Structure 1
């Protein structure tokens, strides 16, 4: 989106170049599986089956590799123009109309407290919300955590939150849906970007 958030700027050269790179990997060089929007766990499934050598995933999804007979590790995203990675966050929410707000608050306090956060770190690859726990190397277990688990500390300075796209949750879902024609190789990156930009701007102006 533009800096003022009023116009979609999707059809810029860098977006077209990035999407062309993805399409070339899939269809020209045939080194990447065809993207399947309907199967969000496809990459992790292929990785566990050792049918692909490298995937882009999250620390949440790394838990899928536990107790699998594969050797794996985590590395920062490769970059061309600049270093960047997507920052995703989780949250605990309380229903404003709940009749058990005090009980819900107790659960939230426990889940965000040191004991629960240490349990999260000790038994999963999910990054704890408490910084002191997230950075505690004494909680690392080689049977659960990859060798370079702490790489997330190196990428945080240049991580971009999903909100930096200037789109709401519904619009991000729409964007993913609109890209299906491109992933199916039924549109060029230029056509897809121009169509999506026009559509988003038309809806916002309407």
Structure 2
């Protein structure tokens, strides 16, 4: 046996050293005129021979990033070469609207002309599979992902693709960092977030004699009010996209959730799921309340609302950005309560590709998107809630229509839950959803549905 690393291992370590030093220089962690550690120190840090360390330093000299000073050491070049670094940023296209991403990228280019960001929109369908492949092949250096995507990385054991980050709980809402952490380590830096809320048309409620601000204390009350809001051939009172993972599960959460009992398939777990599914069924079959045949996508709710075809919807702060160009006067209300107060939290964060050759530049771009200036711009120009507490809670003149109840999210923080708090795995949720479609369509009895749920819970 030999302690010498294989050629492949040595090459990977050498590339890692070059990428790390290059990234530190580009990101400004090592400034012009700073001396690098000695060759001996670099050898220990990166587990390389002195010969390979000199090979790596030679590559940085040829790039013009460092200069070798005879008998003294290696120093960051002064000035650095005027050569833009290409940075590929993968993101869901909704951020163009929900964070005014194009304007943020243009401002970053003005402030950092040496780094060029290429935005790469990624379709939401099979987002995890696409992002994983892009990270593995180096097609993206930094990516935006939501909690559901991060959970997929955790569940599939692929956190090795994401660079660890440092928390800053004094500046950012700590519960967001908790969502993007695993094993006590933060892998995704929170960017924007939202609880699931009610969004209602203020003029419709006023015309129906309902109060504004609107605060229904139960789903039964909301259903009754929705019947009053419905106008035949004109609008329905209430609507949400039934099949979304960020919609129907809230009824199960408010039924008490499942917790550690879920895997056992115990009666209490089945009761909680059935209670949530039954509330959904009661809502969609309530007379003159819910447009049963509309079930295309999450976006349908906001589109119908903007057209005045629906009076109340389940929505999020981010989704309500679709209403910014409408003439509808709308406001926000917390969800009614079934048995326990709960709402689903949606959040999007930024992750750096651990294998990226431009990891330093990617961190710099993430720093900018999470800076006070960028986060305040998001707060001023959109309805999304920035992760930076200072920006989210700012007061002052508004440049867009902002619903009067915008700050009510602060009261919802204690009741925000992640979909994983249900106690169900993603495959279990998908399986229950498939069976629930038949139950909601009245093609499955309650006894039959309970049996399906028990089999799903026990199967895992």
- Runs (4+) of structure 1 exceeding 6 A deviation are none
Give ranges in structure 2 of 5+ residues lacking alignment: 1-257
* Distance change >3 Å, CA 5–CA 190, structure 1 → 2: closer
Q: Classify the secondary structure of the residue corresponding to 2:347.
A: coil
Question: 112, 129, 135: which one pairs with 2:393?
Answer: 135
Alignment root-mean-square deviation, CA: 2.5
CA shift, 1:93, in A, is 1.3
Asked if 2 retains the 8 angstrom alpha-carbon contact of 1:34 and 1:183, the reply is no
1:42 positional shift: 2.0
Match of 1:165 in 2: 422
1:8–1:201 Cα contact (<8 Å) kept:
yes
CA displacement at 1:69 relative to structure 2: 1.5
TM-score for both structures, normalised by structure 2: 0.40
Q: Which has the larger radius of gyration?
A: 2
Tell me, in whole angstroms, the C-alpha distance in 1 between the residues paired with 2:411 and 2:301. Answer: 24
Which has the higher relative contact order, 1 or 2, with Cα contacts under 8 A spaced 6 or more apart?
A: 1
Give 2:274's aligned residue.
16
Deviation at 1:174, TM superposition (A): 4.5
* Conservation of the 8 A alpha-carbon contact between 1:125 and 1:145: yes
Higher fraction of strand: 2
- Deviates further, 170-179 or 46-55: 170-179
> 1:100 aligns to what?
358
SS at match of 1:93: strand
- The aligned residue for residue 317 of structure 2 is 59
Counterparts of 1:194 and 1:158, CA distance in 2: 31
1:29-66 Cα distance to aligned partner (Å, 9 max, x none): 24112276542222212211212110111111010110
Partner of 1:199: 456
Query: Are 1:110 and 2:368 matched, yes or no?
Result: yes
Q: What is the aligned counterpart of 2:410 among 139, 147, 153?
A: 153
- What CA distance in whole angstroms lies between the structure 2 residues aligned with 1:47 and 1:124? 18
Aligned partners of 1:37 and 1:180 also within 8 Å: no
2:344 to 82, 86, 89: 86
Q: Deviations over 1:75-133 (max 9, x none)?
A: 11111323211112111111222221111111111111111100110010110001121
Map 1:15-34 onto structure 2 (within 5 A): 15-34=273-292
Match of 2:417, SS state, is strand
SS of equivalent to 1:54: strand
**Would the aligned equivalents of 1:25 and 1:31 in 2 still touch at CA under 8 Å?**
yes
How big is the shift at 1:188? Answer: 4.1
Q: Is residue 184 of structure 1 aligned with residue 441 of structure 2?
A: yes
Please name the residue that 2:260 is paired with.
3
* Greater displacement, 56-65 / 96-105: 96-105
